[in-house]
């Protein structure tokens, strides 16, 4: 079994590959446009926008995607294209305060594992991520106000999803004010369990549609793969059963970013589950699909 340090080193290498300039150039032609939009603090947020496919009557639903530590707006192509195929205007945000350069600087200062930890628990970096979310929404609303909005995130991006949804944190990040529900649903890929950013019962008051996806080999910063399932167990459940968790057999952390051995098996499971879940949320009844051998899917 790989040591935690080895796992962290492999994660960092995968992040560097995923956010390389060649990857960016290869993907940019698939997007409607690359934008720089202003945040409320005056800084700029990069956005990569994928137009909705098919015939759209009125304003299309909106999907906003938050990348992991060390990533960029050029990542998560499989997820962005899947959401666009479902008819969503899809925006992948670039979080400059927690991008490749920020992760590299932390690793050079602290080492691989401590450097990753330092960025993930950085209060200012997470606050800036929420400002990026606000910038993306303001840009989207200036075009048309989407009738349905979903926030998706992986790894550190799933922290952003949880903070936006109202999870209580231990790094003193101010979540959006109570009553300011900026999204109708949330999708967290590889969420972190308690102990690093969140307290033991951080999710018990989230009464919003939430899909959590993880894998049996999805190592966490604290507690191993099982720790990534704890947020779902802490969720209170909803009358329409729109709080789901899917655990994919053999899926690793980077598989959810579209990287690593086995990602081609994981990606369709992720996108199909998201499509089914969001359809249920919009119909106010989240009925689980038939179980498949590669994944355990539960609802409450």
CATH of the domain at 106: 3.40.50.1820
Mean per-residue pLDDT over the chain, rounded: 87
pLDDT at 29 over 50: no
Domain that holds residue 221: 4-299
d(CA 259, CA 295): 19
Residues 84-102, mean pLDDT to the nearest whole number? 91
Q: Determine the length of the chain.
A: 300
* Number of alpha carbons in the 13 Å side-chain half-sphere of residue 27: 22
Task: Report the greatest alpha carbon distance in the chain.
Answer: 52
pLDDT at 1: 38
Tell me the pLDDT tens digit for each residue of 196-220: 999 999 999 999 999 999 999 999 9
pLDDT at 104 over 90: no
Q: For residue 300, how far is the Cα from the chain centroid?
A: 21
Burial (0-12, 13-18, 19+ Cβ within 10 Å), 84: buried
Between residues 30 and 110, which one has the greater pLDDT? 110
Tell me the pLDDT tens digit for each residue of 179-191: 678 999 999 999 9
Calculate what percentage of the chain has a pLDDT beyond 70: 83
d(CA 292, CA 82): 20
pLDDT band at 27 (very low <50, low <70, confident <90, very high): very low
d(CA 190, CA 156): 9
**Global confidence as pTM:** 0.89
What is the total count of domains within the chain? 1
Calculate ∠ Cα 247-83-296, nearest 5°. 15
pLDDT band at 260 (very low <50, low <70, confident <90, very high): very high
Least reliable range by pLDDT among 15-19, 64-68, 261-265: 15-19
């Amino acid at each position: 079994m790989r040591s935690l340090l080895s796992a962290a080193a492999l994660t960092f290498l995968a992040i560097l590959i995923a956010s390389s300039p060649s990857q960016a150039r290869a993907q940019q032609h698939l997007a409607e446009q690359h934008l720089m939009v202003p945040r409320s603090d005056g800084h700029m947020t990069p956005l990569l926008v994928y137009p909705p496919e098919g015939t759209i009557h009125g304003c299309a639903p909106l999907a906003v995607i938050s990348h992991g530590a060390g990533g960029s707006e050029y990542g998560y192509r499989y997820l962005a294209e899947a959401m666009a195929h479902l008819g969503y205007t899809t925006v992948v945000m670039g979080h400059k305060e927690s991008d490749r350069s920020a992760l590299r600087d932390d690793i050079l200062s602290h080492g691989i594992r401590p450097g990753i930890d330092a960025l993930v628990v950085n209060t200012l970096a997470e606050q800036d991520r929420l400002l990026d979310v606000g910038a993306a929404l303001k840009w989207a609303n200036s075009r048309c106000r989407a009738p349905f909005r979903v926030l998706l995130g992986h790894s550190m991006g799933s922290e952003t999803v949880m903070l936006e949804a109202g999870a209580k944190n231990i790094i003193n990040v101010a979540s959006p004010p109570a009553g300011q529900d900026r999204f109708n649903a949330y999708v967290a890929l590889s969420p972190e369990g308690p102990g690093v950013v969140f307290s033991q019962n951080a999710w018990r008051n989230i009464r919003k549609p939430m899909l959590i996806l993880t894998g049996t080999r999805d190592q966490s910063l604290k507690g191993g793969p099982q720790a990534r399932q704890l947020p779902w167990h802490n969720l209170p459940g909803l009358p329409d059963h729109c709080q789901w968790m899917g655990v994919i057999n053999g899926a690793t952390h980077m598989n959810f970013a579209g990287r690593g051995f086995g990602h081609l098996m994981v990606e369709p499971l992720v996108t199909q589950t998201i499509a089914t879940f969001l359809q249920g949320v919009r119909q106010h009844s989240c009925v689980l699909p038939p179980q498949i051998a590669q994944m355990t899917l539960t609802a409450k």
